[in-house]
């Protein structure tokens, strides 16, 4: 079989998620470039009742080892930004976590993470979001997620200007409020120091919206 596809034309949600968790396309039948070196381990958190979705980049090494999304320092900061407990964050009935690449993509020669594999968005993401009818709030973290969810113009203006224009995206669709966010990695400590408006302007509204949805 040259590619991996859902088991039927219209699988149940449970079967569809099982298919995602068993996907090996990037390792066994890559569409782009070399086969992914790490053993596939798709890591997502999702249910059809989720009202909040975190669209992130791809699992890092620690998350790959644990199998738990944002189980690292970036996750600690993200939960602080959102103003929620670990219990609420990992409650899949409330919060979905869907990275652009479901598996850890491996490392570059300099030790940094490779970009998310492109296969995930082509095979799975559109179908997955079509099966999530209750989403009210979408957090797009970093440029990869912002380009896919918010359009190619975000690639031209970059993450800083996209996040700075957050109100434009937030107000665009009252049925699905969108927040573009920088990555909560420690690599962005300087960015946060240089852009204090993010914590002053964006986070209070974000926390208020989250409280209203998961109270």
pTM of the model: 0.93
pLDDT of 160 > 90? The answer is yes
The pLDDT score that the predictor gives to residue 9 is 56
CA 138/CA 156 separation, integer angstroms: 21
Percent with pLDDT over 90 in the chain: 88
pLDDT 10s digits, 35-51:
999 999 999 999 999 99
pLDDT 10s digits, 89-106:
999 999 999 999 999 999
Three-class DSSP category at 19? helix
Domain boundaries, given as residue ranges, for the chain: 13-214
CA 172/CA 170 separation, integer angstroms: 6
Give the residue ranges of DSSP H helices in 12-150: 13-21, 25-28, 61-66, 73-82, 86-89, 119-120, 126-130, 142-150
Mean pLDDT of the chain: 93
Contacts 24+ apart (CB under 8 A), 73-79: 73/185, 73/186, 74/183, 74/184, 74/185, 74/186, 75/184, 77/184, 77/185, 77/186, 78/54, 78/141, 78/184
Helix, strand, coil percentages, rounded to 5, for the chain = 45, 10, 45
Cβ distance 59 to 99 under 8 Å?
Answer: yes
pLDDT 10s digits, 173-206:
999 999 999 999 998 999 999 999 999 999 999 9
The pLDDT score that the predictor gives to residue 155 is 73
Judge residue 8's burial from the number of C-beta atoms within 10 Å of its C-beta, 0-12 exposed, 13-18 middle, 19 or more buried.
exposed
> CATH top-level class for 13-214?
alpha beta
pLDDT band at 10 (very low <50, low <70, confident <90, very high): low
Span 128-156, average pLDDT: 94
pLDDT of 153 > 70? The answer is yes
pLDDT of 8 > 60? The answer is no
Axis-axis angle for helices 153-164, 142-150 (nearest 10):
110
- Please calculate the CA angle 160-90-137 and round it to the nearest 5 degrees: 45
């Amino acid at each position: 079989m040259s590619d991996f596809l859902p088991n039927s034309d219209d699988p149940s949600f449970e079967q569809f998620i099982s298919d995602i968790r068993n996907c090996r396309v990037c390792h066994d039948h890559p569409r782009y470039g070399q086969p992914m070196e790490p053993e596939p381990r798709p890591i997502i958190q999702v249910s059809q009742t989720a009202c909040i979705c975190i669209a992130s980049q791809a699992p890092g090494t620690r998350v790959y080892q644990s199998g738990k999304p944002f189980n690292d320092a970036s996750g600690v900061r993200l939960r602080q930004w959102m103003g929620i407990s670990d219990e609420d964050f990992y409650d899949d009935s409330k919060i979905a976590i869907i990275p652009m690449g479901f598996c850890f993509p491996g490392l570059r020669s300099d030790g940094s993470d490779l970009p998310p594999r492109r296969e995930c968005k082509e095979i799975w993401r559109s179908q997955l979001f079509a099966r999530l009818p209750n989403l009210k709030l979408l957090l797009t973290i970093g440029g990869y997620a912002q380009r896919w969810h918010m359009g190619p113009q975000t690639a031209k203006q970059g993450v800083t200007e996209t996040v700075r224009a957050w109100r434009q995206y937030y107000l665009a669709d009252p049925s699905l409020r969108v927040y573009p966010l920088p990555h909560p990695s420690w690599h962005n400590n300087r960015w946060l120091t240089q852009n204090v408006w993010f914590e002053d302007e964006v986070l209070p509204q974000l926390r208020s919206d989250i409280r209203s949805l998961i109270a």
